[in-house]
Copies of this chain bind each other. A is one copy, B any other.
Amino acid sequence: MIDPLSAAAEPSRRRILQLLAARSMTVTEIAAEFTVTRSAISQHLLVLAEAGLVEAEKVGRQRIYRVLPGGLQRLQAEIDRFWTRELDQLVDDAHTIRRDS
């Protein structure tokens, strides 16, 4: 399985996840939000699916994609693992400095 963070970092896939988080959509609906080809969207969806972030349900001749909450949970866990207390402390310091200026 692909690294969720690497999969979600790509700008187009970020937007796809945003769209699908709001509501489940078909491939054509998603592609309508982009300037790139539907084929490109299909491939992005494949990557997101391999990362366990989305899933497709076949309904008639269209496939409805939705996010997988468990995948987002793993993504969040990965971000949390990266965002250690040291990093937190540094960001807090930055806030303090900004407050002082």
A contact residues vs B (CB 8 Å cutoff): 3, 5-6, 8-9, 11, 14, 17-18, 21-22, 67, 69-70, 72-73, 76, 79, 82-84, 86-87, 90-91, 93-95, 97
Hey, which chain B residues are within 8 Å of A70, CB to CB? Answer: 94
> Looking across the interface, which residue of chain B has its beta carbon closest to that of A3?
B11
| Complex: A55 Cα to B21 Cα, angstroms | 36
Q: Could you give 23 example pairs across A and B, Cβ below 8 Å?
A: A5-B9, A6-B9, A14-B82, A17-B87, A18-B82, A18-B84, A18-B86, A18-B87, A21-B84, A21-B87, A21-B90, A22-B86, A69-B90, A69-B94, A70-B94, A72-B91, A72-B94, A73-B91, A73-B94, A73-B95, A76-B83, A76-B91, A79-B79
How far apart sit A91 and B70, CA to CA, in the bound complex (Å)?
Answer: 7
Knowing that A18-B82, A72-B91 touch, tell me 17 more A-B residue pairs with CB under 8 angstroms: A9-B9, A17-B87, A18-B84, A21-B84, A21-B86, A21-B87, A22-B86, A67-B87, A69-B90, A69-B91, A69-B94, A69-B97, A70-B94, A73-B94, A73-B95, A76-B83, A76-B91
